[in-house]
Amino acid sequence: MREEPTAGETAAVQVMSRANRTVLAKRVERFAAAGLYNCLFDVCHAPAGDLDAPETGKVQVWARGRLSECALRADLFDWIMAKTE
């Protein structure tokens, strides 16, 4: 859990190497039931099919293209390449 200090909002991050729609739905259900966070980031580098976030605006799914974009923006290309050698 991480708190954004200026807004006082909290977020949870779930990182998985593989996931599908059923797995995502269960995580979103647990997230909603816990009621402890303002936002959930679900990160998966090898999803089975498309993972769509519910339209609540409280869940962000970072998979494939979105995950790649974030890694490049954070200047992690060389680090990722070193890890794959």
pLDDT tens string 28-66:
899 889 888 889 898 988 888 888 877 778 898 888 888
pLDDT at 16: 86
Quick count: other Cβ atoms within 10 Å of Cβ 45? 15
Reply yes or no on whether the pLDDT at 4 is more than 70.
yes
Query: What ranges do the domains of the chain cover?
Result: 2-84
Contact yes or no for 36/55 (Cβ under 8 A): no
| Mean per-residue pLDDT, 19-24 | 90
Reply yes or no on whether the pLDDT at 1 is more than 70.
no
Mean pLDDT of the chain: 85
pLDDT at 52: 80
Q: Measure the CA–CA gap between 38 and 63, rounded to whole angstroms.
A: 20
**Angle made by CA atoms 38, 35, 58, in degrees to the nearest 5:** 35
